[in-house]
Amino acid sequence: MRKNIAVIRGDGIGPEIVDQALLVLNRVAELYGHEFAYTDVDMGGCAIDKYGDPLPQHELDKCCAADSVLLGAVGGPKWNDVPGSMRPEKGLLRLRAGMGVYSNNRPAKIWPQLADASPLKKSIVDKGIDFIIVRELIGGIYFGKHETFEENGEKVSVDELRYSEEEIRRIGRIGFETAQKRGKKLCSVEKSNVLDSSRLWKKVMHELAAEYPDVELSDMLVDNCAMQIVKDPSQFDVIVTENMFGDILSDEASMITGSIGMIPSSSLGATGCGLYEPIHGSAPDIAGQDIANPIGTILSAAMMLRFSFSMAEEADCIENAVSAVLTAGYRTGDILPADGNATKVGCREMGRLIIENLTKG
């Protein structure tokens, strides 16, 4: 199978971690008889330096023409003083809108080898943490009307939380379809005891459930979900929720796994073309020093194989290789235990070790 992947190396440690992910993809292609072609795309600070624009239209067009997009990280202090409309992060927002990706999918998975890094009690961690939060990405309160005005002699601010049935239905389908590929359990999170938008959310989700009889649907209020994630995360398989709730819950979920350097993410829309990236930033303070952790990016590439290319076995191959390297005791600096009881390696060496452990199932 041949796939064209748009590659955004970006800024800071982005080029280093993306290079390792591409080496892993190349080896997977060799093992399984695929061909991955790469199209380089400039976005973020590097695009500002080159074009005076964080994402020119001709670069966005490359992404929209690809089968999927792999992104490292963008931004850094070098571009802090550029006008707000031209900041590196604006390129990312433009990319999401241009690609029409409305679903952000962030796994919360703790690798058993890194269990001690979690802030949760060992008795909780030992039950397992392995779920995905499916967050609606381009609607809700972040994209509603925002206004500040004077009323009765004081300033008043209003932010509109708005959802249509279709917006809920399309993110709900992503949630159900993701659950079908995992443990077939979907938890719909809202605040239907207070908000009209959440009552509509719950209604649409239950209508959709009839189309997915193989998936068990449950409902949970967002405040309870926040508590349950730290009380017993093992109960969750897939969580689907609106934009602001997902923003908050996904950050909470990433914290309980112990290291943001290990966590991938995907953003999906109506087509199979997705945007895949690690959740961490560009870390300009360590850029070019060969100490960044490439695993989040490598696992993002595995997500791309699984969810955009339907290459589940190939994705398993990558994840198994990561697990083998961690079991062997190799760690980049960000996941090195405090007692030093591990072998510290750099970015390139971690990539090499993972490639060495790629084995066709």
Is 191 considered catalytic here?
yes
Question: So what's the pLDDT on residue 26?
Answer: 98
Q: Active-site residue among 127, 251, 285, 360?
A: 251
Is 203 considered catalytic here?
no
The rounded distance, in Å, linking the Cα atoms of 333 and 340 is 10
pLDDT in tens, 84-102: 778 898 898 889 889 999 9
What domains are defined for the chain? 1-105+261-361 (3.40.718.10), 119-256 (3.40.718.10)
Least confident of 54-58, 110-114, 351-355: 110-114
Is 237 considered catalytic here?
no
Q: What is the mean pLDDT of the chain?
A: 95
Once rounded to an integer, what is the mean pLDDT over residues 112-116?
Answer: 90
Angle at 139 between CA 239 and CA 66, to 5 degrees: 85
Assess whether pLDDT exceeds 90 at residue 206: yes
Q: List CB contacts of 249: < 8 A, sequence separation 6 or more.
A: 133, 135, 189, 222, 225, 226, 229, 239, 241
Confidence category of residue 49, pLDDT binned at 50, 70, 90: very high
- State whether residue 260 is helix, strand or coil: helix
Q: Active-site residue among 78, 130, 142, 290?
A: 142
Confidence category of residue 155, pLDDT binned at 50, 70, 90: very high
**Other CB atoms within 10 Å distance of the CB of residue 137:** 24
Of 339 and 240, which is predicted with more confidence? 240
Question: So what's the pLDDT on residue 305?
Answer: 97
Q: Active-site residue among 223, 231, 232, 360?
A: 223
As a whole-number percent, the residues of the chain with pLDDT over 90 amount to: 85
DSSP output for 309-346 = S--HHHHHHHHHHHHHHHHTTEE-GGG--TT--SEE--
Question: So what's the pLDDT on residue 353?
Answer: 98
Is 247 considered catalytic here?
yes
Once rounded to an integer, what is the mean pLDDT over residues 177-188?
Answer: 95
pLDDT in tens, 57-81: 999 999 999 999 999 999 999 998 8
Question: So what's the pLDDT on residue 6?
Answer: 98
Q: Active-site residue among 19, 191, 212, 237?
A: 191
Q: List CB contacts of 24: < 8 A, sequence separation 6 or more.
A: 298, 301, 318, 321, 351, 354, 355, 358
Confidence category of residue 270, pLDDT binned at 50, 70, 90: confident
Assess whether pLDDT exceeds 80 at residue 50: yes
Assess whether pLDDT exceeds 90 at residue 329: yes
Question: So what's the pLDDT on residue 242?
Answer: 98
